[in-house]
Chain A
Amino acid sequence: MKHLPKHLRPRWRYLAVGLEAWPETDLSRGPFQRELWYAAQNLLGDAGSADADLTVVRFAFGDGTGESVVRVRRGEVGRGRAALACVDAVDGDPVGVRVRGVSGTIRAGEERYLGGAGGFIDESHVELAASETTGRGRRRDDGAVDVAVGSTFVGATDAETSVPERSDPEHTDSNGHRDH
């Protein structure tokens, strides 16, 4: 069909979204889009959901962090943001979402707000300070450590975990152990 004349085309805004999950979560675009529509429909209803028209246009996820660009109709940014906030899990795996910024084009959103999400840089058996819990800890370059405790995870930071052979957690924090 012939394209609409420019003044009749819908105007969009693009939400640059940061995603986070536990280390072994496998998150892909399809299920995320489904949860987003589901959340929008539950919060805004069919009519509101159709108005907001939330569509995942860019998606990348790996090693427990990811990024996405979600298209929303101009003027519905607030409602889109609210629906997005209600996405708490994808296929039962808990997911953290946060709108990092809103832009008028996909490219501007990606350039300004996305990029730089690091994967895991290190994996070792760690001890959680102050709770006598130990487990396999996966560490990111920004200092976050996800510790596997039993069948679940505990989110911690560099300063709160120590590798048993190294006694001082502060030391581990400043030097890192990238050279592993």
Chain B
Amino acid sequence: MTDADASRSGEPSREAPPYEAAHAHPEGDATAGRLARTARRFGYGGLVVRTREAAFDADALRDRYGVDVVPAVEVVADEPSSASGAVGNFRPDFPLVLVRGGTDALNRFAVEQDRVDVLAAPLSGEGGFNHVLAKAAVEHGTRVEFDLGPALRASGGSRVRAIQGLRKLREIVDHYDAPYVVSARPSSHLELRSPRELVALGAELGFDDGRIHAGLAEWGRLAARNRERRSAEFISPGVRVDGCEENDR
């Protein structure tokens, strides 16, 4: 059983369904339901809702639209100390905890925390990313997010800088084989783009075949892993309470 699970999660990520991670109302301009509905039509297998304040019933949406809806929280803080408090508060309640990067201190904090799943938008502000952070991300299993949003929606110099940033990040992540996720960071159903469109865009930006798809699917793997860890049977990796133990007694 456990072996089968392990081999399933280790199979090529091309098979796994792509996920998108979006901002929902009130942070964005569309409700979780509308995003889920559009995601299904666009060929996504799941939707991560980054907005903590969004009110929705994930199970009901899954039944209604046939997409896996994952409640998540994207911690936005100025300082690592306040981010740390927020991560501690939200970790028990959400399957996915993201920290929005943007400063060197926050980027470093996020990749050095086992409790943080994803370092979101690491190059969005003044922040940088380097080999030290990449190694920390490998060690602590923090996924680094490739933010395709500016490449899709920005223009002029800011778009050029964002694409430069993506290239630099890609080279570092590739070299250290750091875990990563890919997202267009849509904040409404109109900003959502289908997986094939993102793959086509990624090809223009120099992402190798399959990298974008693997990054989209990684959200789903991460959510599945964390849900298993949050379930009552889980004790630590490789150790779980099984039904048969009670029968043996």
Chain A residues with a Cβ under 8 A of chain B = 20-22, 42-44, 78-79, 81-82, 84-86, 88, 94-99, 128-131, 143-144, 152-157, 159-160
Contacts and interface: CB of A to CB of B under 8 A. Distances in A.
B34 A155 contact: yes
21 contacts: A20-B190, A21-B190, A82-B201, A82-B203, A84-B197, A85-B152, A85-B197, A85-B200, A88-B191, A94-B188, A96-B189, A99-B197, A131-B26, A144-B37, A154-B29, A155-B29, A155-B35, A157-B33, A157-B34, A159-B33, A160-B56
- Of A85, A95, A96, A152, chain B has the most CB atoms within 10 Å of the CB of A85
A43 B204 contact: yes
Given A82-B204, A86-B201, A130-B56, A94 B33 contact: no
B31 interface: yes
Contact of B196 (A43, A99, A129, A143): A99
Contacts, number: 96
B155 A42 contact: yes
Interface of B: 25-26, 29-31, 33-35, 37-38, 41-42, 55-56, 60, 64, 151-153, 155, 159, 188-194, 196-198, 200-201, 203-204
A28 B168 CA distance: 39
A155 B200 CA distance: 27
A69 B197 CA distance: 16
B31 A156 contact: yes
A155 B197 contact: no
A79 B200 contact: yes
Given A42-B155, A94-B188, A131-B55, A85 B193 contact: yes
A88 B55 contact: no
B194 A99 contact: yes
- Of A86, A95, A144, A152, chain B has the most CB atoms within 10 Å of the CB of A86
A20 B34 CA distance: 13
B200 A154 contact: no
Contacts of A98: 41-42, 193-194, 197
Contact of B34 (A44, A152, A156): A156
A159 to B, nearest CB: 6
B193 A160 contact: no
B197 A96 contact: no
Top-4 shortest CB links A-B: A155-B30, A130-B55, A85-B197, A96-B190
Given A98-B193, A159-B33, 11 more contacts: A20-B189, A20-B190, A81-B200, A85-B152, A85-B197, A86-B201, A88-B152, A99-B197, A154-B29, A155-B188, A156-B33
Contact of B152 (A86, A143, A152, A154): A86
